[in-house]
Structure 1
Amino acid sequence: DLSKNNKQMDKIQKSLEAFLENKRKEFPRFFFLSNDELLQILAAAQDIRKVEKHCSKIFCNIMKLKLGEDSNSNQIYAIISAEGESVAYQPPVKARSEEKIEATLTEIEQKMVETIAKKLSKFYSEYDFTNIDKSSWVFNDIGQVVSAFSQIIWTELC
């Protein structure tokens, strides 16, 4: 009887591991999480506020999501780094409870890339290479844009 229960438990464990592996294939950033953490996210998929605590493991240096004031709000207005830098989303990302959490996290990722690319493009089109005054923009924008733009300037001036 105990042997039968062990076999049944092994079967359940293998099925769970296969399920989690499929979730990781759907959203590869889930590979950064332990099985327990992934299960917590999947269990809390309806509430982005509960998923938020795992953002730092899913996305490099994203410590928080700026969510709507209302506790029922599912709008994500910005991502916030460990240093307190904020990347605002225009328009905000809507965490849809009826969708898989992977869809919301993918949208957060895509919006992050899109927002950074737009900021970088705007910097590049408005920047005057003949009159370089780094202090005017180094402290006024997010580090990733400043770093990438510094490399662009260096390349342009070489």
Structure 2
Amino acid sequence: MVALGPVLLQICNVTNTPGISVGVMHRGELIHTANYGFGDVERKLAPNEDTTWLMCSMTKGVTAAMVGMMVDEGKLDFTTQLREIFPHYQRSDAQANITIADPLSHRTGIAPYDGLWLSSDNQIVMERSQAIPTFSYAPAANPLRTKFGYNNIAYEIIGQVLEEISGSTYLD
């Protein structure tokens, strides 16, 4: 991992990223950490293990991997419909048939409506408990599985699927 330090710094320079932290887990144990650049640019402070980073869409890959693990373990199937897991997910249109695979591939057809949960200064303003009711009533922008349509709320719901199936919180 030490050899990756210069490469990570070069990536930060090329992408104009002020800082980065890396952690390597093996069998549930943290075996290596490294921090590069700045965790606080204004005060020129280096990041450390307690630095909070905005991960944004990087969590989507982690979420998809976690779903894949549950599929491999036989706890979930990509064809499982949301309404099978969440009976309160109620729709009367084709989107009633949304499966686990549809949000993962951004093919739900439901309009993205990020303004419902994210303020103009990127603060989350909607409670997680409102994701499924919001998704249940959000209008369809396209027929199910016909077009790519980036949808953050759909991924929040997949996170809730993982919680429901595993019995653990998403953060765990």
- TM-score normalised by the chain length of structure 1: 0.26
More strand by share: 1
The structure number with the bigger radius of gyration is 1
Task: Decide which structure has greater helix share.
Answer: 1
* Greater relative contact order (Cα < 8 A, sep 6+): 2
